[in-house]
Amino acid sequence: MEVKQAIEMRRARRILDATPVPNDEIMELVQAMRLSPSCNNNQPWRVVAVFDEGPLHDLKTSLTKGNAWAQKAPLIFAICARADDDCRLADRRDYFLFDCGMAVGEMMLRAAELGLIAHPIAGYDVAVAKQSLGIPEDYVLIALINIGRPGSDPSLLSDKQLMAERDRPARRAIGENFFRGKWDAPLE
């Protein structure tokens, strides 16, 4: 698959099949993150791969009501990092979030290539999730990435979520986010 195809195919779908993700595919996702670039090659990400029944159940108790659909996820990556483990530059440019985002992005493209959905969320009780996974207090639990194969049971989705499953949500016009030469000069 071409990278362009993986980018176009990648969707944050919510209807997941609960069938476990094979270990070799989990390791493919891990390898995609391992090879991601980071400031000075610091690799600040710490990832808890959650797929065993007990820990997965415990982590899922942290999910908010709007993320009930993630109860079906057979694999969740908990993405953690600390600012002190990465470049800290002038003007509050702490790179740890950026570097973790790049690693997750590369993993998501590999997931798309493998026919998996990798859907990041921020809707969870951080204290419950960190406690259930034993994440040290000084680490930021940046996101949970729900991973699995496409499913067929939409019963856990709201009407709004069902609409997003059918049609790719609209993207902003290029000139709203991209500028030519200076701020507020839309790139068209």
Determine the topology of domain 3-177 in CATH. Answer: NADH Oxidase (3.40.109)
pLDDT band, very low/low/confident/very high, at 6 (cuts 50, 70, 90): confident
Q: List, for residues 15-50, the tens digit of each pLDDT value.
A: 899 999 999 999 999 999 999 999 999 999 999 999
Indicate the domain borders of the chain.
3-177
Residue 79 has pLDDT above 90, yes or no: yes
Phi, psi of 133 (to 5 degrees): -100, -5
Over residues 65-86, the mean pLDDT reads 96
Q: What average pLDDT is seen over the chain?
A: 94
* Higher pLDDT pick, 167 / 72: 72
Residue 13 has pLDDT above 90, yes or no: no
For residue 28, the model assigns a pLDDT of 98
For residue 110, the model assigns a pLDDT of 97
For residue 126, the model assigns a pLDDT of 98
Place of tokens 């690693």: 103
CA distances from 54 to 51, 89, 119, 129, 175 (A): 9, 40, 21, 13, 47
CA distance 48 to 27: 13
Share of the chain above pLDDT 90, in %: 78
CA distance 14 to 70: 7
Task: Look up the pTM and report it.
Answer: 0.92
CB count, 10 Å around CB of 119? 23
